[in-house]
A and B are shown apart, each in its own frame.
Chain A
Amino acid sequence: MTALSPATASASRSAGILPLLKTAFVNALVALVLFSLMVGIRTEAGSDGQLTYWTRFGELASLVAAVFGGSIVIELLRQWIGPTGAEKLVPPAVQSGMSFIGRYLAPALLIFTLLVPVIFYNQRYILDLAILVLTYVMLGWGLNVVVGLAGLLDLGYVAFYAVGAYSYGLLATNFGWSFWICLPLAGILAAFWGVLLGFPVLRLRGDYLAIVTLAFGEIIRLVIINWQELTGGPNGVSGIPRPSFFGIPLDNSDDGLAAKLGIEYSPTHRIVFLFYLILALALLTNWVTIRLRRLPIGRAWEALREDEVACRALGINTTTTKLTAFATGAMFGGFAGAFFATRQGFISPESFTFQESALVLAIVVLGGMGSQLGVALAALAMIGGFELFRSLEGYRMLVFGMAMVLIMIWRPRGLIGHRAPTVYLTKAQAISSDLVKEGHG
C-alpha cells in the first residue's frame, strides 16, 4: 500500500530527483506508522486465554523499504509514460486490430469452449476449473440482466443462487425428484424470490437499493443457517443426487449410460456431461438475454439504466420493468444454483456469502456492464487468476481485493468495454455516456 498523492506527483514530474525522494520518504513514513503495530507486533492467544506477543521488526522494515522503493519506481514510470490516455496506452493501430479480432473472438471462443472436453479429456483439474469458470460466466450473465442492462445495483445476487441450490437440494433429497424436473422449479422459485425482493425495492434508488439487496442476501443466508429442521443449518444438505442423462444414471451400474452404450465406464463421463450441461445453461442465458434485449422489455431495461426520470416521462411502466429485470436475473441465478447443487452433491450456507455476491458483481462490472463477451472474459480472468493464487491461501483474497481496487482505478468502465443502448432515436449521441454523469438507478 503506497500513499501516492497526485499533487506531489505532478510537482515531481517537472523537477529532479530530490522531490521524488521526498515523496518516497513521506510514503515510507506513512507506511511505517500504518504497519508499525499491525505488522511489527504479532499477537497470539495462548491455550489459557492469555495473550502473548512478539515483535517482527524485520518484516516491518522490509515492508517499509518495499513501499519506499515501490513509490520511486511508480513515480519514475509515471514520469516516463506521462499522462495516460487510451491513445497512449494502446496505439490506434493496435486498437483497430483488436476490434478486428473482437469480431471473431466470440465465435472462436465458443468453438474452443465446445472442444475443451475433447482437448483436455484426461486432465480432470482443467475440466473442473472450466466448469467453475462457466458457472461464474452464467452467474455473471444472469446478474448482467439486472446490473448491466437495467442498471439496478444488486449486492445480494447470491441469494438467488442459494435459493436455486437449496430448492434442488431439498426437493431432490426429500422427494427424490429428478434434476430435470427440479431445474425449472429452482428457476421459478428463484424468480419468485426475485419478484418478492423487487417489490420493496421499487421505490428505492441508488445506494438504498444496494443496501436493501445486501440485507436481503444476508437474510436468506441467516434463515438458511437458523432453520435447522428444513435446511440442516450450518451442516448443509448432503447426499444430493448427481445428475442423470435424461433419466439414465451416469454410473458404473448395469443401467448406467456407459453400459447401455456399450463403452467402458469412466468417471470422466460425468464431468464431461456436467461441462456441457453448464455450457448449455450459460448459452441459454446468453441467448435469452440477447433476444430480450431486442424486445420492448429489453429496450425498457436499457432506457431505465440510462435515465429513470425520462423513462417515466415516456410512459414506460418502471414497476414492471424493474420486476421483470429482477425476476429474469434471479431465474438464471436459480438455474446456476441448481447446477451447483448437483455438481457438488453437498451445499451449505458457507457457499453463499456476501463475498460471492461481490465476486459476481466484480465480474459484471470488470467485464463492462451489459457486454456479454466482456462478462465471459472477465469471469475467465477472475476465476482463472484466482486459481493461480490457490497455493497462497491467506494472501489470495488480499491480492483479489488489491486487483479490484487497481482495475477500478485503471479502467473504471470495465476491462472490455460496455454496451451502449441498442437503439438511438436519430443518431448516436455526440458525447458518449461514459463522459456524462450517470442518472440514479
Chain B
Amino acid sequence: MDYFAQQLINGLVLGSIYGLIAIGYTMVYGIVGMINFAHGDIFMIGGFIALITFLILVSLGLTAIPVILLVVLLVSMAITALYGWTIERIAYRPLRHSFRLAPMLSAIGMSFVLTNYSQVAQGARVKPIPPFITGGYTLHESADGFVIQLSNIQIMVVVTTIVLLAIFTWLVSRTRLGRDMRACEQDQTMAALLGVDVDRTISMTFVIGAALAAVAGLMYLLYYGTVDFFMGFVAGIKAFTAAVLGGIGSLPGAMLGGLAIGLIETFWSAYFSVGYKDVAAFSILIVVLIFMPTGLLGRPEVEKV
C-alpha cells in the first residue's frame, strides 16, 4: 500500500511534466490542425537554455535560490518562446494551406534540425546539474521501515503545473487572445472575415505552447537533474500520446492524458519491468483509440462530404 502511494506520487509528478508538453501539441493541433513534431525538441531546447542560465547565474555568485529559479524560468520561457515563433514563421506558415502531409514532413525535418543543432552546439553527452532544491517531507512511515516521501521538488512541479494550468485556462476562456484562438479553431476564414488576425493568433499559440514546453523542460531538469540532446524525441512522443489519449484539441484532455501516461509508465516500471514501460504506454494508447477513436475527452469528428 505504501509502495503504491509512493508510486502514485511519482506518477503524478511525471504526468504533470508530460501534461505541460501535451498542452502545446493540443493547442497547435486545435488551431492549425497539424502535428507539431518539433514540439518535443522545443522542450529539449527549453531544458538546455535553463541549464545554461543556471550555470551563468551560479558562476556570477548568485545564491538566493528563489531568485535564480525565477530568472531561469523567465529566460528559458522567453528564449524558447522565440524558438517556437521562429519555427512557425520559417517552417509552418508557408505551408498553412498546403496539402496535409507537407506541414507534417516539414515538422519532422524541423525536429531533426533542432535535435542535431543542439548536438552540434552543445555536444552529445548528458549534462548534469547539482541538485538545487533538496529536502522534503515524510508523509508516512510503515512498521517495516518503508517511507513515503514527498520531496520539495515534487511539490514544486505539481504546484507550478496547477498554477500554469489555471493561468492558461483563464487566458483561453477570458481574454481577447483566447477568444481569437477559439474563433480560429472553429473556422479560420470566418474568424478572419470578422476581424481576427489569424496569423497573429497562430503565432501566439506557438509562442504559448513553446513557453509551456520550456517550463516542462525546466521541471525535467530540476527533477531528473540532467538534459541531453535526444531527450526531446521520447518525451515528445509520450506527450503527443498523452494529447491523443486525452482527445487531441482538448486542453483538459491533454492534462488528463499526461497524468494517465505518467501513471501508467510509473506503475508499470514499479510492478512489472522497466524495459517495457514505453511499450505499455503505447499499447494502452492503441487500445484506447480502438474503443474511443477520438480519445478520452475528444469531440467526435464530423465527416464532411
Contact with B along A77-109 (1 / 0, CB 8 A): 000000000000000000000000000000000
Task: Point out which of A3, A42, A403 has the most chain B C-beta atoms below 10 A from its C-beta.
Answer: A3
Quick check: B91 and A210 within 8 Å, CB to CB?
Answer: no
Quick check: A398 and B29 within 8 Å, CB to CB?
Answer: no
Chain A residues, Cβ within 8 Å of B59: 53
Quick check: B83 and A215 within 8 Å, CB to CB?
Answer: no
Contact with B along A122-152 (1 / 0, CB 8 A): 0000000000000000000000000100000
Chain A residues, Cβ within 8 Å of B175: none
Chain A residues, Cβ within 8 Å of B112: 355, 358, 397-398, 400-401, 404
Chain B's interface: helix, strand, loop or mixed, by majority? Answer: helix
B155 interfacial contact with A, CB 8 Å: no
Question: How far apart are the CA atoms of A91 and B125 in the complex, in Å?
Answer: 50
Say which residue of A3, A42, A215, A441 sits within 8 Å of B89 (CB atoms).
Answer: A3
A38 interfacial contact with B, CB 8 Å: yes
Size band of the interface chain A makes with B: 35 or more
Say which residue of B105, B248, B282 sits within 8 Å of A207 (CB atoms).
Answer: B248
Contact with B along A421-441 (1 / 0, CB 8 A): 000000000000010001011
- Shortest CB distance A434–B (Å): 7
B185 interfacial contact with A, CB 8 Å: no
A5 interfacial contact with B, CB 8 Å: yes
Question: How far apart are the CA atoms of A270 and B108 in the complex, in Å?
Answer: 37
Quick check: B283 and A45 within 8 Å, CB to CB?
Answer: no
Quick check: A216 and B286 within 8 Å, CB to CB?
Answer: yes
Chain A residues, Cβ within 8 Å of B82: 30, 33-34
Contact with A along B31-47 (1 / 0, CB 8 A): 00011000000000100
Question: How far apart are the CA atoms of A406 and B51 in the complex, in Å?
Answer: 31
Report if A223-B279 is in contact (Cβ < 8 Å); known contacts: A34-B82, A369-B101: yes
Say which residue of B52, B241, B305 sits within 8 Å of A53 (CB atoms).
Answer: B52
Quick check: A214 and B79 within 8 Å, CB to CB?
Answer: no
Question: How far apart are the CA atoms of A206 and B26 in the complex, in Å?
Answer: 15
Report if A42-B122 is in contact (Cβ < 8 Å); known contacts: A222-B276, A222-B279, A404-B109: yes
Complex: chain A residue closest to B226, CB-CB = A45
Quick check: A404 and B282 within 8 Å, CB to CB?
Answer: no
Quick check: B86 and A1 within 8 Å, CB to CB?
Answer: yes
A41 interfacial contact with B, CB 8 Å: yes
Question: How far apart are the CA atoms of A225 and B278 in the complex, in Å?
Answer: 12
B102 interfacial contact with A, CB 8 Å: yes
- Shortest CB distance B228–A (Å): 10
Say which residue of B95, B116, B276 sits within 8 Å of A226 (CB atoms).
Answer: B276
A208 interfacial contact with B, CB 8 Å: yes
A248 interfacial contact with B, CB 8 Å: no
A44 interfacial contact with B, CB 8 Å: yes
Contact with A along B99-117 (1 / 0, CB 8 A): 1111111101111111111
Stretch at the interface among B15-23, B126-134, B141-149, B212-220: B126-134
Chain B residues, Cβ within 8 Å of A44: 123, 125
Report if A49-B115 is in contact (Cβ < 8 Å); known contacts: A369-B101, A409-B94: no
Quick check: B286 and A45 within 8 Å, CB to CB?
Answer: no
Complex: chain B residue closest to A27, CB-CB = B86
Say which residue of B45, B90, B127 sits within 8 Å of A2 (CB atoms).
Answer: B90
A76 interfacial contact with B, CB 8 Å: no
Question: How far apart are the CA atoms of A140 and B237 in the complex, in Å?
Answer: 24
Quick check: B290 and A200 within 8 Å, CB to CB?
Answer: yes
Question: How far apart are the CA atoms of A23 and B120 in the complex, in Å?
Answer: 28
Complex: chain B residue closest to A355, CB-CB = B112
Report if A45-B125 is in contact (Cβ < 8 Å); known contacts: A30-B86, A211-B285, A412-B102: yes
Contact with B along A371-406 (1 / 0, CB 8 A): 000000000000000000000001111101111110
Complex: chain B residue closest to A392, CB-CB = B120
Report if A51-B129 is in contact (Cβ < 8 Å); known contacts: A4-B89, A208-B293, A211-B285: yes
Complex: chain B residue closest to A197, CB-CB = B286
Question: How far apart are the CA atoms of A2 and B49 in the complex, in Å?
Answer: 20
Complex: chain B residue closest to A39, CB-CB = B121
Quick check: A208 and B289 within 8 Å, CB to CB?
Answer: yes
B63 interfacial contact with A, CB 8 Å: no
Quick check: A408 and B279 within 8 Å, CB to CB?
Answer: no
- Shortest CB distance A25–B (Å): 16
Say which residue of B55, B85, B113 sits within 8 Å of A51 (CB atoms).
Answer: B55
Chain B residues, Cβ within 8 Å of A30: 82, 86
Quick check: A395 and B79 within 8 Å, CB to CB?
Answer: no
A173 interfacial contact with B, CB 8 Å: no
Question: How far apart are the CA atoms of A214 and B241 in the complex, in Å?
Answer: 10
- Shortest CB distance A368–B (Å): 11
Report if A408-B119 is in contact (Cβ < 8 Å); known contacts: A44-B125, A203-B290, A215-B241: no
A315 interfacial contact with B, CB 8 Å: no
Quick check: A45 and B127 within 8 Å, CB to CB?
Answer: yes
- Shortest CB distance A227–B (Å): 9
Quick check: B127 and A43 within 8 Å, CB to CB?
Answer: yes
Chain A residues, Cβ within 8 Å of B35: 207, 210-211
Quick check: B241 and A409 within 8 Å, CB to CB?
Answer: no
Quick check: B116 and A401 within 8 Å, CB to CB?
Answer: yes
B179 interfacial contact with A, CB 8 Å: no
Say which residue of A2, A6, A43, A210 sits within 8 Å of B55 (CB atoms).
Answer: A43
New A-B contacts (20) at CB < 8 Å, excluding given A37-B52, A51-B55, A207-B248: A1-B113, A4-B89, A7-B199, A30-B86, A37-B53, A38-B117, A45-B127, A53-B59, A205-B301, A207-B29, A208-B293, A212-B286, A216-B286, A222-B278, A222-B279, A362-B108, A405-B109, A405-B113, A412-B99, A438-B99
Q: Which residues of B contact A (CB under 8 A)?
A: 29, 34-35, 45, 48-49, 51-53, 55-56, 59, 79, 82-83, 85-86, 89-91, 93-95, 98-106, 108-123, 125-129, 199, 233, 237, 240-241, 244, 248, 273, 275-276, 278-279, 282-283, 285-287, 289-290, 293-294, 301, 303, 305
13 A-B pairs with CB atoms under 8 Å apart are: A34-B86, A37-B48, A37-B53, A41-B55, A53-B52, A208-B244, A211-B240, A226-B279, A309-B303, A401-B113, A408-B91, A408-B102, A413-B99
Q: Which residues of A contact B (CB under 8 A)?
A: 1-7, 30, 33-34, 36-39, 41-45, 49, 51, 53, 147, 153, 200, 203-208, 210-212, 214-216, 218-219, 222-223, 225-226, 309-310, 354-355, 358, 361-362, 365, 369, 394-398, 400-405, 408-409, 412-413, 434, 438, 440-441
9 smallest A-B Cβ distances: which pairs? A404-B109, A401-B112, A412-B102, A401-B113, A215-B282, A226-B275, A408-B106, A398-B116, A412-B98
